[in-house]
Amino acid sequence: MIKVLFFFFLLINLVSANTSTKIEITNNFKKINSIKFKFIQKIDNNNTEKGECIILYPKKIFCEYDDIYNKILVSNGKSLIINSDKIKNYYRYPLEKTVLNLILDKEFIISKLNTLRDDINYPFYYVFDTEYENASIKVFFDKENLDLIGWQTIDIYQNIMQTFISDIEKNIFIDKKVFVIQKYIN
């Protein structure tokens, strides 16, 4: 009987701690209007790209890649473009057709935080998983400071892209002109 009671109280404490963590992450994330960070992006463990990004919620992002081609990625909240000196034309996508549409949607992420869990593959992060139009999305939060720390997507072709962020600055002033797509079109 004592073992059953012990297990019951242990289970209640674990559920309570997990709920508390979800609330803390949610409250922390709700306070963020903008973030600036450095990133490392791995694509199928073969290619690695680095750079710096600014996100302005909802759904605006500007990224400059550290490469010889001056690659940039910009979303104005509706469209997403990728441009670089390597390509002759830019690539333009409706944001709603990309997984970034969900990653840049703070309200969507907050709504999914109830599925937050520990993942043995990522022992230093809290993780939530979701599916979107045949793509798998994982969003990571740091276990120590509860900050957004990255994401992973797996597309319909089973390509894995992991993005981990560092040197995070929250709620900084951002000139909204940086998200004007026409500035970056060749």
Q: What is the mean pLDDT of each run of 10 residues along the chain (186 residues)?
A: 41 45 90 96 88 96 93 95 87 91 91 78 84 82 92 83 95 94 79
pLDDT at 186: 59
Helices (H) and strands (E) in the chain, counts: 3, 11
Q: Can you say whether the dihedral through the CA atoms of 185, 160, 140, 70 is positive or negative?
A: negative
pLDDT at 80: 94
Cα–Cα dist 112/137, whole Å = 11
- How far apart, in Å, are the Cα atoms of 113 and each of 22, 85, 163? 6, 39, 19
Check residue 92 and report its DSSP letter: E
Domains and CATH numbers, the chain: 2-184 (2.50.20.10)
pLDDT at 2: 55
